[in-house]
Amino acid sequence: MAKLILTHEVTGLGEPGDVVDVKSGYARNFLIPRKLATPWTKGYEKQIDAIRKARKAREIASLDDAKALAETLGSQAVTVTANAGPAGRLFGAVSTGEIADAIKAAGLGSVDKRKIQIAQPIKATGDYKVSVRLHPEAVAKVAVKVVPAK
């Protein structure tokens, strides 16, 4: 087992600043190379505090604000324009960054791209649902419509 400090949110594992125990292979082959975590040492206690302060500044202040934003996001569809072939198949896939930009462009608020979860890669035009984790207790389901670029 390896003891790590998470530097980014990892679904099912924890939030930035959390100290977690994971299997050494998962730490060595996935978390550390992708810079999602750093090895835990006593010297990193100050870094943990800095990560937690930065997370507090970024996250939505209260559960009520998060639920209100979740209702707003769930009530409207967001349109993403992507390059597609004649059969509607995309050249690449729609990223979480593109969805976050579309949400902001629609005037629905600002959402961190790391909080958006896509169940399966979006590689064709059509209608999709994605989850946005606004708060640990508030998740919004956003309707995403992918249309081909002219």
User: Residues 12-39: pLDDT tens digits?
Assistant: 898 888 889 999 999 999 999 999 998 8
* Class in CATH terms, 63-148: alpha beta
Residue 60 banded pLDDT, cuts 50, 70, 90: low
* Class in CATH terms, 2-58: alpha beta
* Interval 4-16: pLDDT, tens: 988 888 888 988 8
pTM of this prediction? Answer: 0.67
Domain boundaries defined on the chain: 2-58, 63-148
Look up tokens 């979480």; give the residue.
Answer: 96
Gap between the Cα atoms of 15 and 11, Å rounded: 8
Gap between the Cα atoms of 37 and 7, Å rounded: 5
Gap between the Cα atoms of 135 and 90, Å rounded: 32
Gap between the Cα atoms of 126 and 109, Å rounded: 23
